[in-house]
A and B are shown apart, each in its own frame.
Chain A
Amino acid sequence: MVVLLGYIDPSSGSLFLQMVIGTVLAVGYAIRHHIAKLWRKLTGKSKDDV
């Protein structure tokens, strides 16, 4: 088992991961955002209300 020792700074890995997944999450977010907007327009309700 690999153990991440306490004295190692893990922040570089957190930043790197964001860069890798950023575009995918941005696209997903944009699509959901547009669907939610369309839904509100059609039904007058927020998706959270359903």
Chain B
Amino acid sequence: MTEPDSSLAATSFRDPAGRVIRKNGKVFRQVFPAGSRDYEAARDSGLFTELIKRGWLIPHRELPVAELNGWPGGAAYILEPEQLDWVSYPYEWAFSAYKEAALLTLDAQQLALEKGFILKDASAYNVQFWQGRPVLIDTLSFEPYAGNRAWQAYGQFCRHFLAPLALMTKVDIRLSCLMRDFIDGLPLDLAAATLPTRSKIRPGLMLHLSIHSSSQRRYANKPVKQVIRRDEAGQKLARQSLLGLTDSLRRTVKGLRLPRGAATEWGKYYSFTNYSDAAAAHKAELVREYTQLVKPVEIWDLGGNDGRFSREALAAGAQRALCFDIDPLAVEKNYRYGREQAETALTPLLLDATNPSPGIGWANAERPGLNERAGDGKGRMLLALAVIHHLAISNNLPFGHIAKWLAGLGEHLVIEFVPKDDSKVQTLLATRKDIFDQYDQSVFEQTFRQYFTILQQTSVRESGRQMYLMQRKRP
């Protein structure tokens, strides 16, 4: 057996009870001796069994005692969780995905309280999307509830979940991007100051954001004992109070909804395409054909909008798909559809291809950027359909830059070339000077050949567009 590697050390180092570690290509959770008592208590109480049964916690198994030697830092237990195919972060989630993650955290807190435990942290990074739904991944987040103690993670829950969700619904759905700047959640004073007045007077938001922020400001840097002495009567915080707090947060989060009729750039994209039904059907047919030929494990659909072509690839045999789009409403629509259909293989995520998620947190490595998470791209087929003109013309990206980036992400590429005389390109050029002499099919092919081998090329029926299947060249 090989030694554990330290590639996850940069992402899991804050919890003295344990950490995540990789060995033999698998991810394990190492329980340090310091965390063993809480872990055993939660396990023996049946809390984990119940959470897993409800689909709220990622299932895991304990490795046998014989396999506990040789783990750096010592191991009281080693847990082997179900392996995640992909790790995503709150600033990449659809609004409904984010909201479900918040409700899951509160549901888990309520169940834990009922069983005499409590969540010791409420980080949005403790939630991942697995088999199409959110699950808690940090098994060591639970500790026995000693009674008469406040919820230490209340502030964190409000920063990680309530504040961003409130801003997304009451100000602008795009504000989840603030989570990229604030790794421990949005400061409550910032959220309270940004909310419109009419939202601040909603009881839940007033209490958990505005008054909470004022309380933080008033008692900032005062030792807890000094704060408590001011209100001796309130010192004893019974379990019932925490259930009340959890319930109040739950009702507040549940009440956060996107405005009706919210429409953004791409939300209705497929209603406004310029191709005929025959062209769209042919494009879908080509995606299926290429998928059957390549047999990829994973699809990355860049600019995948509502996921139509990701689903074609899944139907043709791909095991899973990540469908990225720049538009939060398209991602939302895709996520809701997937949930309605109980899909398990498709994960819609928010991504601006011209500015992909960077590495953030300690040493810019705590939450790796998209390119790092992409790994070597083996077994992955990229779909870049009707995207090239947005990158090359709207964003002035040379073909060489685009080809190089795509070659770093996946082994195979299905890409649609949209010619300059296409009405969509003409729309992009209508308000700007045409400085794109190099935007030409032959230049496109010549440039992409530096990084890829073109395996197939087909003209899309009733359209001037071209579809290519490419395989990246070995470096």
Question: How far apart are the CA atoms of A13 and B224 in the complex, in Å?
Answer: 9
CB of A23 within 8 A of CB of B241, answer yes
CB of A22 within 8 A of CB of B217, answer no
Question: How far apart are the CA atoms of A9 and B216 in the complex, in Å?
Answer: 8
Q: Is B386 an interface residue (CB 8 A)?
A: no
A5 → B minimal CB distance (Å): 8
Q: Is B410 an interface residue (CB 8 A)?
A: no
Q: How many residues of B contact A (CB 8 A)?
A: 42
Mark the stretch among B14-22, B30-38, B187-195, B284-292 that contacts chain A: B187-195
Q: Is A32 an interface residue (CB 8 A)?
A: yes
Q: Is B273 an interface residue (CB 8 A)?
A: no
CB of B217 within 8 A of CB of A12, answer no
A1 → B minimal CB distance (Å): 7
A18 with B237, Cβ < 8 A, contacts A26-B244, A27-B244 known: yes
Name the B residues within 8 Å of A19 (CB-CB): 150, 228, 231, 234-235, 237
A22 with B238, Cβ < 8 A, contacts A8-B220, A12-B222, A13-B218 known: yes
A16 with B244, Cβ < 8 A, contacts A22-B234, A22-B238 known: no
B255 → A minimal CB distance (Å): 14
A50 → B minimal CB distance (Å): 14
Most A-side CB within 10 Å, residue of B158, B222, B224, B241: B241
Residue from A4, A18, A27 in contact with B213 in the complex, judged by beta carbons closer than 8 Å:
A4
Name the B residues within 8 Å of A20 (CB-CB): 215, 231, 234
Most A-side CB within 10 Å, residue of B154, B234, B235: B234
CB of A16 within 8 A of CB of B217, answer no
Residue from A13, A26, A27, A32 in contact with B220 in the complex, judged by beta carbons closer than 8 Å:
A13
Q: Is B223 an interface residue (CB 8 A)?
A: yes
Q: Is B248 an interface residue (CB 8 A)?
A: yes
A15 with B244, Cβ < 8 A, contacts A4-B187, A4-B213 known: no
Chain B interface mostly: helix
CB of B189 within 8 A of CB of A4, answer yes
CB of B224 within 8 A of CB of A15, answer yes
Name the A residues within 8 Å of B231 (CB-CB): 16, 19-20
Contact with B along A26-50 (1 / 0, CB 8 A): 1111101000000000000000000
Residue from A13, A15, A18, A29 in contact with B247 in the complex, judged by beta carbons closer than 8 Å:
A29
CB of A25 within 8 A of CB of B244, answer yes
CB of B245 within 8 A of CB of A22, answer yes
A12 with B241, Cβ < 8 A, contacts A2-B217, A25-B247, A29-B247 known: no
Question: How far apart are the CA atoms of A25 and B213 in the complex, in Å?
Answer: 18
Question: How far apart are the CA atoms of A10 and B193 in the complex, in Å?
Answer: 16
The 3 closest A-B pairs by CB, nearest first: A25-B244, A22-B241, A13-B216
12 additional contacts (CB under 8 A) given A10-B219, A15-B224: A4-B189, A11-B155, A12-B221, A13-B219, A14-B215, A15-B154, A17-B211, A18-B154, A20-B231, A21-B245, A26-B241, A30-B244
